[in-house]
Amino acid sequence: MKSFDLNGKVAIVTGGNGGIGLGMARGLAAAGAKVVVAGRNAQKSAAAAKEIGGEAIEVDVKSEASLKALVSETVKRCGRLDILVNNAGINIRKQPQEYSLAEYHEVMNTNLTSAFNCSQLAYPEMKKSGAGKIINIGSMMSIFGASFTTPYATSKGGIVQMSRAMACAWAKDNIQVNCVLPGWIDTDLTRGARKDVAGLHERVLARTPAGRWGDPADFAGIAVFLASQASDFLTGTAIPVDGGYSVQG
Ligand code: NDP
């Protein structure tokens, strides 16, 4: 299975210190990549990096200066950058009329603008080495709407289109840009949602053909596939990893 081998590759996973990001980081590390775990919480990042034999670098993805420092520090410590997983994300749950503009921007900057910014910063490193893989994280809210999640759904719809546009631009540089659309996964993010949104837990179980919530470990395989040579002819896609949630009629 040489085409899945990531030995010698260097990956950044934003928000790689917990939840889905850590699930992906574990997969990439198991396939041989050196993984930079990039988050705000230094303690969480250090623990994750230690577990997977990677590096921890503090970042606030909302800040261009912080993202610049992340990419340059990665190249300084690890020598190159082959794989970027734009995973950091937040949600603020309200009805559309209740958001302040600051809250809207907080979600958009964290979930979407950061991915644009970090991909731009990673591009020269990938172009230099003649190959690159960018994995963006969408959501079921890239496909569906929900009353309590307007800025989040806006960001997650946008990231699919952003991935397609970058995929077209950078295919000639042998850089593939794809999007993963998680279903309902048991993480800190959704623990909050389950508390706030009455009946959500049961509705997810009833609608998911697999009959369970997803686990961060469900993202190791897709991360390795999209980061490896095995997916070299795959770009601009948006792949649901959702236990069938999005195909249930
Ligand atoms: P978690 O809350 O467990 O993880 C979110 C991660 O994002 C944390 O590691 C956090 O790091 C990081 N993060 C948030 N804001 C920033 C910031 N400003 N700068 C740097 N890092 C930041 O949630 P999930 O694992 O569930 O979410 C991961 C991604 O998956 C998100 O994009 C989310 O939208 C998406 N997703 C999740 C679904 C689910 O059901 N769980 C479904 C669909 C999509 P730190 O703690 O250090 O701040």
Q: Choose the catalytic residue: 99, 104, 152, 245.
A: 152
Distance in Å, CA 215 to ligand 1 centroid: 14
pLDDT exceeds 90 at position 193: no
Distance in Å, CA 124 to ligand 1 centroid: 26
Give the confidence band of 26 by pLDDT, cuts at 50, 70, 90: very high
Residue 41, ligand 1, Cβ within 6 A: yes
Residue 152 is among the residues annotated as catalytic for this protein: yes
* Residue that wins the pLDDT comparison between 1 and 172: 172
Report, as an integer, the average pLDDT of 197-217: 95
pLDDT exceeds 90 at position 249: no
Q: What's the chain's average pLDDT? A: 97
Residue 204, ligand 1, Cβ within 6 A: no
DSSP letters spanning 107-176: HHIIIIIHHHHHHHHHHHHHHHHT-EEEEEE--GGGT---TT-HHHHHHHHHHHHHHHHHHHHHGGGTEE
Say if residue 191 is exposed, middle or buried (CB neighbours under 10 Å; 0-12, 13-18, 19+).
exposed
DSSP 8-state code for residue 214: B
Residue 55 DSSP SS3:
strand
- Residue 92's pLDDT is 95
Ligand 1: which of 188, 189, 222 to mutate, most ligand atoms within 8 Å of CB?
189
Residue 110, ligand 1, Cβ within 6 A: yes
Residue 84, by phi and psi: left (phi above 0), alpha (psi -120 to 50) or beta? beta
- Residue 75's pLDDT is 98
Render pLDDT for 93-128 as a digit per residue (tens, 0 to 9): 999 999 999 999 999 999 999 999 999 999 999 999
DSSP 8-state code for residue 79: S
Render pLDDT for 122-169 as a digit per residue (tens, 0 to 9): 999 999 999 999 999 999 999 999 999 999 999 999 999 999 999 999
- Domains parsed from the chain with CATH numbers: 2-241 (3.40.50.720)
Interior angle at CA 18, CA 12 and CA 233, nearest 5: 45
pLDDT exceeds 90 at position 197: no
> CA 75, CA 200: separation in Å to the nearest integer?
42
Q: Are 20 and 219 a contacting pair, CB within 8 Å?
A: yes
Question: Which parts of the chain fold into alpha helices (H)?
Answer: 19-30, 42-52, 64-78, 101-108, 114-129, 150-170, 188-196, 200-207, 220-227
Q: Which of 72, 75, 76, 21 is nearest to 49 (CA)?
A: 21
Render pLDDT for 48-62 as a digit per residue (tens, 0 to 9): 999 999 999 999 999
- Residue 192's pLDDT is 84
Give the confidence band of 14 by pLDDT, cuts at 50, 70, 90: very high
Residue 23, ligand 1, Cβ within 6 A: no
Render pLDDT for 210-219 as a digit per residue (tens, 0 to 9): 999 999 999 9
pLDDT exceeds 90 at position 195: no
Q: Which of 23, 27, 26, 20 is nearest to 184 (CA)?
A: 20
- Which segment of 1-15, 68-82, 150-164, 183-197 scores lowest on mean pLDDT? 183-197
- Residue 196's pLDDT is 80
Distance in Å, CA 19 to ligand 1 centroid: 7
Q: What percent of the chain is predicted at pLDDT more than 90?
A: 96
Q: At residue 99, what is the residue type?
A: Y
Q: Are 38 and 45 a contacting pair, CB within 8 Å?
A: yes
